[in-house]
Structure 1
Amino acid sequence: MKFDLHTHHFRCGHADGTIEDYIQAAIKAELNVIGISDHSPYFANEIDQPQPGIAMAKSAFAGYVEEVLRLKAKYEGTIDVLLGVESDYYPEHIELYKSVYEQYPFDYIIGSIHQTRGVSIFNRNRWKNLSTPVQVEEKQHYYELIAQSARSGAFQVLGHIDAMKGYYPPFSDIAADEAIDSTLSVIAESSTAIEINTSGKTKYVGGWYPSDAILERALFYGVEVTFGSDSHIPSRVGDDWELVRQRLKEIGFKHWVYYKQKKPIVVPL
């Protein structure tokens, strides 16, 4: 059972291709399940699309859902198309986001931290001239937000949980093990999954999110894992799926999961 829960398309403004392009790429890659999960709108902003290069417009959201459901029906019997969304987590707006998502039949929602203290986690300059204690504080804050997102009950999957290393590889060496362990414990208790996201290979850091070290600790705490390519071009659908499967087995995982109608489907490794 081969699946990929994390894909994007043109509506977010920084991905290429239509939803159907990603479905057809999934069929070509011999996937059984493909999840469509473009970036959610900024629902708390009065402007329809305040950041057109980052997330879809509020006015596009209903059409996005309708298109996924139409294609789900079209490809039934060929591939299972799942309705998902990648949602930014903003603590102050989570109830608003939840109220919007409740209106639609999502199979799963990915909760991701893309900003801390109003600055993108991928900002190449955010770490310049910071002392070691401040770096530790920033990393701890990032993981506290991830823990909060797990506690919120809004998500089935947590996206790329060490993606701050994307354009700053030394992030992994900042000492914050207690914060990571505490967050993994919360994630396990919340029954959400973390994704192994292979898009790190497209950033400075290379490789995947999260690191093997975090995955080993996730196994210790009993955290569920899933797979997401985070494709922004159709050719990356399912990218490194078999390599990830083998690595998880080496670490000691026995299964991984995907979500349908917000219920976990367990797939042996």
Structure 2
Amino acid sequence: MLTDYHNHLERGTLTLDYLRKFTDEAARKGIQHFGISEHAYHFYQTKNILSNPWVDERRYYDMADYVRLFHEAWDAGIDVKMSIEMDYTPGKHEEMAKFIQSYDFDYVIGSIHWIDDFGIDLAEYRKEWERRDLYDTYRKYFDQVVTLAESNLFDIIGHIDLVKIFKYVPEDEEFLLEQYDRATTALANSKTCVEISTAGLRKPVGELYPDKRLLQMCYDKGIPIVLSSDAHVPEHVGADYDKAIALAKSVGYTEIMTFQKGERKAVPLG
């Protein structure tokens, strides 16, 4: 069994024709559980959760149109899961919970893209990496991984070590493993799964998310996984899954999680 639960329509349109390009590619690659998880910041309904100049320029969807698209797909016999990828925003737990509970999502992805006003994965902010203390940035990032897990609002944490995207990685392995350890301890005490994402292979870091040492801790602490491509175009659906499956199996995983209306079920991997 294969999943691809992290995909975006934002470079196209919220239409059935465009959605079919993704679901057709998933079917072609043998992915039985496929979902769309658009960025929550695109929707007017999240303005009270995350708002800054970069985000506000890109807020142009209404959730009613998004939900309608899925109902059109289901009526047309297309098996696609309805999800959202929400920027985990410290101090906004109540607002995030209210938004999540307002819709009948199959699952919800929580991801960390911002450390205060620093968009860590955005090309526009890349020079900030040279201006900031690397260890402080990593500590603050994994602080958010911990509180994301403790919130228990999310079914999946997206690209758990996205912070490495531009290849800025602390040389002190002890420090790095300490961040991984506290993050996985918090996740192990939550309902949150970890995704193995192939998106990192298409980024400057050129690696899967997560780092193998981090994934090994996930396995050792009993944290379930899903597979995702984080495709923003149809051709990236299920990209490089041979590498993702090999990584999962190399640390011991033999199962992945599937989701249906918030209920999760373990199934054999591969």
- Shorter-normalised TM range: 0.7 to 0.9
1:62 pairs with 2:64: yes
1:229 pairs with 2:229: yes
Q: What's the CA shift string for 1:244-264, capped at 9, x where partnerless? A: 122211211121112211122
Task: Tell me the secondary structure at the aligned position of residue 82 of structure 2.
Answer: strand
Aligned equivalents of 1:157, 1:46: Cα separation in 2: 19
Normalising by structure 1, report the TM-score: 0.87
1:171 pairs with 2:169: yes
In structure 1, the residue matched to 2:260 is: 260
Aligned equivalents of 1:21, 1:30: Cα separation in 2: 15
Count matched residues. 258
Q: Which amino acid aligns with 2:126?
A: R
Shift of 1:54: 7.6
Shift of 1:160: 0.5
Aligned equivalents of 2:224, 2:29: Cα separation in 1: 24
1:71 pairs with 2:69: no
Q: Which amino acid aligns with 2:47?
A: A
Q: What's the CA shift string for 1:114-168, capped at 9, x where partnerless? A: 00021011232222154xxx3222211100101111111211000011111111x
Q: Which range moved further: 95-104 or 196-205?
A: 95-104
Q: Which range moved further: 171-180 or 147-156?
A: 171-180
Ranges in structure 2 where 5+ consecutive residues have no aligned partner: none
Runs of 4+ displaced beyond 4 Å = 45-56
Residue 55 to residue 226, structure 1, CA distance change in 2 (3 Å): farther
Shift of 1:95: 1.3
Residue 54 to residue 171, structure 1, CA distance change in 2 (3 Å): farther
Aligned equivalents of 2:57, 2:7: Cα separation in 1: 14
1:103 pairs with 2:105: no
Task: Tell me the secondary structure at the aligned position of residue 265 of structure 2.
Answer: strand
Normalising by structure 2, report the TM-score: 0.87
Matches within 5 A, 1:205-216: 205-216=205-216
In structure 2, the residue matched to 1:27 is: 27
Q: What's the CA shift string for 1:213-268, capped at 9, x where partnerless? A: 11111111211111110001100101122331222112111211122111222121
Task: Tell me the secondary structure at the aligned position of residue 25 of structure 2.
Answer: helix
In structure 2, the residue matched to 1:204 is: 204
Task: Tell me the secondary structure at the aligned position of residue 80 of structure 2.
Answer: strand
Identity %: 28
Whether the 8 Å contact between 2:110 and 2:157 is mirrored in structure 1 is yes
Matches within 5 A, 1:93-242: 93-122=92-121, 123-130=125-132, 134-167=133-166, 169-171=167-169, 173-174=171-172, 175-242=175-242
Shift of 1:46: 9.8
Aligned equivalents of 2:185, 2:223: Cα separation in 1: 8
Shift of 1:53: 8.7
Ranges in structure 1 where 5+ consecutive residues have no aligned partner: none
Q: What's the CA shift string for 1:31-50, capped at 9, x where partnerless? A: 21211101013613599996
Whether the 8 Å contact between 2:196 and 2:226 is mirrored in structure 1 is yes
**What is the alpha-carbon root mean square deviation over aligned residues?**
2.5
Aligned equivalents of 1:28, 1:202: Cα separation in 2: 21
